[in-house]
Amino acid sequence: MGDVCYHEIIEGLFIGSLRSLGQISLLGITHVLSAVNFEVTSNLGNSKHLQIPLVDSEGDGLLPYLPTALAFIQEGMLEPGGRVLVHCQAGRSRSVAILLAYLMWSKSMTAEQALQKVKAIHSLAEPNEGYWAQLLLFQDMRCRLDEDHPVYRLWKLDQVGRKWEEEGWVDGGTFASTLTDAEAHQSKKILYRCRKCRTALCTERNLVPVAAANGHRLFRGFWKALRNKGVAPADSPPAPPQLLLFSAPDKSASLHAEAIATGQKVSEAVGDASLLKQTSIFVEPIVWMGPMVMGEVCGKLYCPGDNCSNRLGSFNWSGISNEQGKWVTPAFQLHVSKMDIIIPTTRGMQPAHGRNLVSASSTSTHNDPCIIAESSISSTEECVIEPVSSSAEKHSHESNLLNPQLSSSSSAYVVPTSQERRSCTPASDLGNTKAAADGAAAHALMAHEHYQASTAVDPNRVCNTALGLKLLPSAEHVHTDDLRWTQLAFSGLVFDVDGVLVDSECYSCEALRLAILMVTGVEIPHSFPQDFYPVFGMDVRSCIQYYKEVCSRTDWVHITDIVLKVSLAKEGIYKELTAKGIQAFDCAKDLISLVRELGWGIALASSGTPEKIRWNLKQSGLRELLSDDHFIVSTTEVAKGKPAPDVFSEAIKRLGCTDPSKVIVVEDTVNGLIGARAAGALTIAVTTSFSQEHLKAHADKVVNSLSDVMLLFNKLKKDRSVGASLAL
């Protein structure tokens, strides 16, 4: 290679070492992707920059970064005159791995073909063994992140186990969700539910295959195992097909069900009667386990259903031996005697003897779970399946990882501040603004009604099933100006972020618009703020669902993929829009300090991602005052976004508050206020996004600014010393 620190692999796409950054002006580079875990201090000129914090170890996770990295490279390649440089420290492993993934995705190459192409030009190319294994998996998933792929799910479990071993904690946001009965039927998944209360617990996609046992380190021993088998030379990567040695999932549950449905002997269908003697299953960590497994090495698993204390099994981050004597690490074990199994007949099976309910005892003498064959959609027979109390978002990954159709106009970002917006709103638009706000309030109420219907609980009580929370009593909400809260000892305050602490709603809306345009080619209505009233406070998934409906986008079939792409694009655009800083609202810092003086806990509950929340705090100068990430809660960490109460219930839980009526939530949107109310908290609405007229029906108190909140709390501070009440 000599002194050459870069090479052009295909037209406009370069790979290089850290030294190649000195050549970006000469090469006309417009986009720089840095695959390093340290700060890049070189002068990048006007080039767009993305940093992927890879550390070049065999256990390093490459796959989660690929959607962001590939979208960034594709943006540069499609931009007129765009030229992209991908670099790492030496230009040998990290940058090569990302470049190979791009060639595989964009040029339909296998991992081996991509590596040979790069090596022919850039002889130093040598991704480490862990990266190569992940690239083979990426290939096996058809160059997309397929949540249903058994090896990918095992790899993610392996990453969770690694993090626990190395750092002693894990992010509950990485845990898997599960499906309800109806969703399992639609996705043709076998559903496991609590035998006592019928709460959905997991599906077959959550099962840990028997082949993954023996320490369950799928990729740690990947190369060694292949070489010991003689299928790969010691000095070269294995061929892609070898990955399939590890990809066979445990089919015993499916075969068991199929045998029952067809009247076949189960032992004949499974081929090994010993499988029927299994009394437990091992699953990946699931969201509802969070409160039980976070911060503990081992313990018991209980049903998350309301008022159900059914003990389902055990967990141990260090591992548990399965019934074949193999060690599963980390281990989350559920006893089959505690569960029913729902078999979807949409797999092409019909219930044996025309019955919907088949007792396991009729086919086996073992203590098997009750196995239920679900009646078909068109059947008029009584269906034994009943809806459970909560619904997790289903995942569909049938389209490509990324949409190559990107907008070249997305580089022009001009967004007014909220003060500029208020001062320049034409009088002719006020009627439209009011109509939009009315529509937004109606839409939020409809969303809340839909949520209540789907959860089938008392609307005055809330159950965050995904997090295993018990029902919380709802506060009695009175909407009179002379309301007095007497002898209240508040214990916590929860802030929304966008539109409450920081003036960022305009940037968020513009980033959302550009991201949707970039990913789908659809231009959504974008007069600010009126066109965005219906989606204020929503997470990206809810926004996409809303625009799919109002824009009649019947072609938006694979919502999960669109949400993923839009979320990734939105994060990058938002950071670019706010790179020079975000304005914190007046009195934000003083209010936070006052709440601390009152002795209350403070938490944040936002629809933004955790990264965006931290970015907002940093760019607005509030990060030093709100530095504990434990009290930062994103809707990405719970089952449902606003107007569901989940994010507020979790924030209240993290504050250690057992009575939500002793917690105040400060919000600026109708969706947020509805969710806070449903969580049982008292609410203060700030008119930064909606008018007082539209907020008053959903809040206990409406104020114009944080300074008004300061006045209320100062009065409380003063009156508390003499035992007086707080007048609202």
Lowest-pLDDT range, 20-34, 215-229, 255-269, 590-604?
255-269
Average pLDDT over residues 299-320: 90
Residues 500 and 598 in one domain: yes
- Look at residue 418 and tell me if it is in a domain: yes
Average pLDDT for residues 365-372, to the nearest whole number?
39
Per-residue model confidence (pLDDT) at position 243: 30
Structure tokens, 132: 């190569």
Classify burial at 545, counting beta carbons within 10 Å of its beta carbon; exposed 0-12, middle 13-18, buried 19 or more: middle
What are 536's two structure tokens? 């204020």
Kindly report which listed range (279-288, 314-323, 573-582) carries the lowest average pLDDT score: 314-323
| DSSP summary character for residue 56 | -
User: One-letter amino acid identity for 314?
Assistant: S
Residues 552 and 635 both lie in one domain: yes
189: containing domain: 153-374
Within-domain flag for 571: yes
pLDDT in tens, 86-127: 999 999 999 999 999 999 999 989 999 999 999 999 999 999
In a domain, 85, yes or no: yes
Q: Which long-range contacts (CB under 8 A, 24 or more apart) does 505-508 make?
A: 505/418, 505/529, 505/532, 505/536, 505/668, 505/688, 505/689, 506/415, 506/416, 506/417, 506/418, 506/421, 507/415, 507/574, 507/577, 507/578, 507/582, 508/574, 508/608
Say how many C-beta atoms besides its own lie within 10 A of residue 476's C-beta: 7
State which of 107, 140, 173 marks the end of a domain. 140
List, for residues 591-631, the tens digit of each pLDDT value.
999 999 888 999 999 988 888 999 999 999 999 999 999 99
Could you tell me the pLDDT band of residue 572, with boundaries at 50, 70 and 90? confident
Q: 317 is written with which tokens?
A: 């981050």
Residue 719 has pLDDT above 70, yes or no: no
Same structural domain for residues 157 and 136?
A: no
Does residue 412 share a domain with residue 336? no
Q: What is the pLDDT of residues 58-93, one digit of tens each?
A: 888 899 999 999 999 999 999 999 999 999 999 999
Helices 706-720 + 588-597 axis angle, to 10: 20
Are 423 and 298 contained in the same domain? Answer: no
Judge if 586 and 624 occupy the same domain. Answer: yes
Same-domain status, 356 and 419: no
Give yes or no: residues 315 and 409 share one domain: no
Instruction: Out of 109, 140, 171, pick the residue that ends a domain.
Output: 140
Cis before 643? omega within 30:
yes
Q: What value does the mean pLDDT of the chain take?
A: 73
Query: For residue 10, what are the β-bridge partners?
Result: 13
**Residue ending a domain, choose from 80, 106, 140:** 140
pLDDT at residue 580 is higher than 50: yes
pLDDT in tens, 670-708: 889 999 999 999 999 999 888 888 888 889 899 999 999
In this prediction, residue 430 carries a pLDDT of 38
Q: What integer pLDDT is reported at residue 309 of this predicted model?
A: 84
Residue 563 within a domain: yes
Same domain, 606 and 710: yes
Number of structural domains found in the chain: 3
Residue 393 has pLDDT above 60, yes or no: no
User: Taking residues 644-664, what's their average pLDDT?
Assistant: 91
- In this structure, of 11-15, 126-130, 375-379, the range with the lowest mean pLDDT score is 375-379
Among 158-167, 268-277, 680-689, top mean pLDDT goes to 680-689
- Is 146 contained in some domain? no
What is the C-alpha separation between 622 and 369, in angstroms, rounded?
53
Task: Give the per-residue pLDDT at 180.
Answer: 66
Check whether residue 603 and residue 663 sit in a common domain.
Answer: yes
Rounded Cα gap, residues 488 and 457, in angstroms: 28
pLDDT at residue 422, as a whole number: 40
Q: Cβ–Cβ contacts within 10 Å for residue 148, how many?
A: 15
At residue 720 the predicted structure's pLDDT band, cuts being 50, 70 and 90, is low
Known catalytic residue at 88: yes
pLDDT digits (tens, 9 = 90+) for 175-212: 887 766 667 666 677 888 899 998 889 888 888 765 54
Distance CA 671, CA 260 (A): 47
CATH number at residue 80: 3.90.190.10
pLDDT tens digits along 435-491: 555 555 555 555 444 444 443 333 333 333 222 222 223 333 333 333 344 345 788
Per the residue annotation, which of 5, 88, 509, 657 is the catalytic one?
A: 88
List pLDDT tens digits, range 510-559: 999 999 998 898 999 988 888 888 888 788 888 998 999 889 998 898 88
725 in a domain, yes or no?
A: yes
> What pLDDT, on the 0 to 100 scale, is given for residue 459?
31
* 676, 560: one domain: yes
Distance, in Å, from the CA atom of 631 to the CA atom of 558, rounded to the nearest integer, reads 33
**Which has more pLDDT, 524 or 344?**
524
351 and 478 in a common domain: no
Rounded to whole angstroms, the Cα distance separating 684 from 208 reads 46
d(CA 53, CA 47): 19
Q: What pLDDT sits at residue 177?
A: 78
249 within a domain of the structure (yes/no): yes
Q: For the full predicted model, state whether its pTM sits above 0.75.
A: no
pLDDT at 453: 42
d(CA 611, CA 238): 36
Q: Is residue 477 part of a domain?
A: yes
